[in-house]
């Protein structure tokens, strides 16, 4: 807590590597962390939508989104979508520290991603969610371009064989792109110590509380189950009023004309 800590921290880890825990840790250490698009300013959503629609290839759109982030004093970022722009962020802040949150293995990450975020994205890229987030398919395309995660053409679920490769390639790419002195690979079980050392936090200011934990799998199971119900049951919302109207019409006709 306390005053905002100086310096820039870029979270380059893929989602489901402990990014939520890292966000909480950075906030605790005094950073103002940009996580997902969790800001109160709705204009950011429109800026990111332009990034997705152009596949991240429009420098002007990317810079506009990062300008908004920097302009509001965010000096740390974690998870999607900012992790996919870690190189662009590093170009803007050459002295930034980069934290690559990681899993124990590519296969472990693949299994976790496929059954949580990957499953949720697949539902959200279909009705009824697309009525409210029409850019979800653009987002999946952008995610694929940046990470190599492939998606089924029909179900939009992650293609399993692409996941371990995507994780390994991503991890290797970050290690190649970031100067070693500016990079920390961090596993959540390592706790506060490596992060405090890396960011120059004095031992007396390094928290002694347990390191934060990411959302549980039970939580994700509930979220994905709810999304599945919404995806497959939403037509009933349209059918039920029509069926009710037909029933009322039939009953009215029977009453008025003595039909049936």
Q: Quick check: 232 pLDDT over 90?
A: no
Give pLDDT, residue 259.
Answer: 47
Spatial contact of 22 and 101, defined as CB atoms under 8 Å apart: yes
Which one has a higher pLDDT value, 240 or 6? 6
pLDDT in tens, 150-194: 999 888 899 999 999 999 999 999 999 999 999 999 999 999 999
- How does residue 95 score in pLDDT terms, banded at 50, 70 and 90? very high
Give pLDDT, residue 169.
Answer: 98
Q: Which of 137-141, 185-189, 248-252 has the lowest mean pLDDT?
A: 248-252
Interatomic CA distance for residues 33 and 39, integer angstroms: 10
Give pLDDT, residue 40.
Answer: 54
Interatomic CA distance for residues 74 and 68, integer angstroms: 9
Give pLDDT, residue 233.
Answer: 76
- The CATH number of the domain covering residues in 9-104+164-213: 3.40.50.300
Give pLDDT, residue 252.
Answer: 47
Q: Quick check: 257 pLDDT over 60?
A: no
Q: Quick check: 238 pLDDT over 90?
A: no
- How does residue 258 score in pLDDT terms, banded at 50, 70 and 90? low
Give pLDDT, residue 4.
Answer: 74
pLDDT in tens, 6-31: 899 999 999 999 999 999 999 999 99
Average pLDDT for the chain: 89
Q: How many residues does the chain have?
A: 260
Closest among 108, 107, 97, 101 to 80, alpha carbons compared: 101
Quickly list DSSP for 22-79.
Answer: HHHHHHHTT--EEETT--S-THHHHHHHHHHHTTT--HHHHHHHHHHHHHTT--EEES
Q: Does the N-terminal peptide bond of residue 173 adopt cis geometry, omega within 30 degrees of 0?
A: no
Which one has a higher pLDDT value, 49 or 214? 49
- How does residue 247 score in pLDDT terms, banded at 50, 70 and 90? low
Q: Quick check: 195 pLDDT over 80?
A: yes
Q: Which of 28-37, 38-47, 86-95, 162-171 has the lowest mean pLDDT?
A: 38-47
């Amino acid at each position: 807590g306390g005053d905002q800590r100086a310096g820039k921290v870029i979270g380059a880890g893929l989602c489901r590597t402990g990014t939520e825990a890292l966000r909480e840790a950075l906030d605790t250490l005094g950073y103002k962390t940009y996580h997902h698009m969790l800001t109160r300013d709705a204009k950011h959503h429109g800026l990111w939508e332009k990034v997705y629609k152009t596949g991240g290839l429009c420098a002007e759109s990317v810079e506009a989104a990062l300008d908004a982030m920097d302009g509001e004093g965010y000096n740390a970022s974690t998870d999607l979508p900012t992790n996919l722009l870690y190189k662009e962020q590093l170009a803007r802040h050459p002295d930034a520290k980069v934290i690559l949150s990681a899993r124990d293995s590519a296969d472990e990450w693949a299994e976790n991603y496929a059954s949580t975020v990957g499953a949720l994205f697949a539902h959200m890229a279909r009705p009824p969610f697309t009525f409210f987030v029409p850019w979800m398919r653009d987002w999946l395309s952008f995610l694929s371009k940046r990470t190599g995660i492939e998606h089924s053409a029909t179900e939009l679920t992650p293609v399993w064989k692409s996941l371990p490769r995507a994780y390994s390639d991503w991890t290797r790419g970050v290690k190649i792109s970031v100067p070693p002195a500016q990079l920390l690979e961090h596993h959540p079980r390592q706790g506060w110590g490596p992060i405090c050392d890396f960011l120059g936090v004095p031992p007396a200011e390094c928290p002694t509380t347990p390191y934060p934990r990411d959302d549980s799998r039970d939580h994700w199971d509930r979220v994905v189950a709810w999304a599945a119900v919404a995806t497959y049951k939403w037509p009933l919302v349209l059918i039920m009023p029509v069926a009710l109207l037909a029933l009322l019409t039939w009953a009215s006709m029977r009453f008025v004309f003595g039909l049936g």
